[in-house]
């Protein structure tokens, strides 16, 4: 059996411009010592694939340093030549950040589990006949600097680097128990420029725009499958992979508003351009509650 496919990796809405700019926001407004955050994110690619994420976080600020613990759930789409899967990720993250008057740094490590979910193939919806879950882990960091050209304007330049490891399900043809999975590590990097305008005297109302250049070593995987095994399990299958990198740009708008004295809301919308797997529209909303 010889079969070729092209995997379009799912949308990764586990992070957002709101989260990435948390240190910058901390530098421009007074933060509670303890805070909780609830966030929702959604994305849609030009090809029709959708993804959604939910996040809860607890943050502890001590002086200029911040510790945070986050639980995330994300469901996305992985599209191959003749099938589509809908995996779900459950991820726990620990992070540490530190800022000076103008510089900030942020580090994180994540660990979780991916559930492969359903497979849609030739109009048939089924579950995996092979593995049903796999591990996920990631680590990375960012560094940036905040400039204040005037009293109410903020210019933030930042860069990030991260590594993630996950696996992707490789469904076999209908009628044969040949579902396998393969490792899909990826190294990613980004450079972002963000401009914010303070709209009130206290820095509680902020409107901003950002532009990013992003790159990854594994945006999609071109693969071939060859089988020499016998029996219903299809033993002896071999996967030949050719991971393909990509780079693209993204731009968006953000808005932060106070809800009460201890609660603030932030939202964003963004659009990517030039992605190999299809450009995407992303949107997110979060509530930050001082405890």
Task: Give yes or no for residue 237 having a pLDDT over 80.
Answer: no
- What is the CATH number for 257? 2.40.128.130
For residues 132-140, give the mean pLDDT: 94
- Token pair 């990030």 is at which residue? 160
pLDDT for position 251: 97
Domain span at residue 63 reads 2-290
Average pLDDT, the chain: 83
Q: How many domains, the chain? A: 1
Task: Give yes or no for residue 15 having a pLDDT over 90.
Answer: no
Our CA dihedral for 50, 79, 247, 142, rounded to 10 degrees, sits at 60
What confidence tens digit (pLDDT) does each residue in 83-92 have?
788 899 999 9
pLDDT band at 12 (very low <50, low <70, confident <90, very high): very low
- Token pair 């959708």 is at which residue? 50
For residues 93-100, give the mean pLDDT: 95
pLDDT for position 1: 32
Our CA dihedral for 227, 229, 235, 239, rounded to 10 degrees, sits at -20
pLDDT for position 118: 85
pLDDT band at 11 (very low <50, low <70, confident <90, very high): very low
On whether the CB atoms of residues 177 and 233 are closer than 8 A, the answer is yes
Task: Give yes or no for residue 112 having a pLDDT over 90.
Answer: yes
pLDDT for position 250: 96
C-alpha span between 171 and 131 (Å, rounded): 10
pLDDT for position 176: 62
Least confident of 132-141, 148-157, 178-187: 178-187
pLDDT for position 7: 44
For residues 201-216, give the mean pLDDT: 92
What confidence tens digit (pLDDT) does each residue in 24-80 have?
444 444 556 899 999 999 999 887 788 899 999 999 999 999 999 999 999 988 877
Neighbours of 202 (CB within 10 A): 9
What confidence tens digit (pLDDT) does each residue in 173-198 have?
665 667 888 888 999 999 999 999 99
């Amino acid at each position: 059996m010889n079969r070729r496919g092209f995997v379009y990796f799912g949308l990764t809405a586990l992070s957002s411009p709101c989260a990435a700019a948390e240190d910058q926001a901390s530098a421009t407004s007074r933060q509670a010592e303890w805070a909780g955050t609830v966030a929702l994110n959604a994305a849609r690619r030009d090809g029709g694939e959708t993804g959604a994420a939910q996040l809860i976080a607890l943050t502890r600020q001590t002086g200029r340093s911040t510790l945070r613990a986050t639980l995330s759930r994300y469901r996305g789409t992985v599209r191959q030549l003749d099938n589509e899967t809908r995996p779900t990720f459950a991820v726990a993250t620990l992070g540490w950040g530190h800022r000076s008057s103008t510089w900030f740094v942020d580090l994180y490590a994540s660990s979780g589990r991916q559930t492969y979910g359903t497979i849609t193939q030739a109009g048939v919806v089924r579950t995996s006949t092979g593995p049903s879950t796999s591990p996920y882990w990631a680590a990375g960091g960012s560094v940036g600097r905040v400039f204040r050209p005037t009293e109410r304007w903020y210019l933030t330049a930042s860069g990030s680097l991260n590594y993630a490891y996950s696996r992707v399900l490789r469904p076999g043809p209908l009628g044969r128990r040949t579902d396998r999975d393969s490792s899909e590590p990826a190294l990613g990097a980004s450079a972002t420029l963000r401009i914010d305008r303070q709209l009130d005297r206290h820095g509680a109302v902020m409107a901003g725009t950002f532009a990013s250049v992003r790159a990854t070593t594994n945006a999609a995987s071109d693969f071939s499958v060859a089988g020499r095994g016998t029996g219903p399990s299809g033993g002896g299958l071999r996967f030949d992979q050719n991971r393909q990198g990509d780079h693209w740009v993204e731009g968006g708008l953000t808005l932060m508003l106070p809800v009460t004295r201890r609660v603030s809301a932030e939202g964003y919308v963004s659009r990517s351009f030039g992605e190999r797997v299809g450009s995407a529209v992303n949107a997110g909303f979060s509530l930050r509650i001082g405890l």
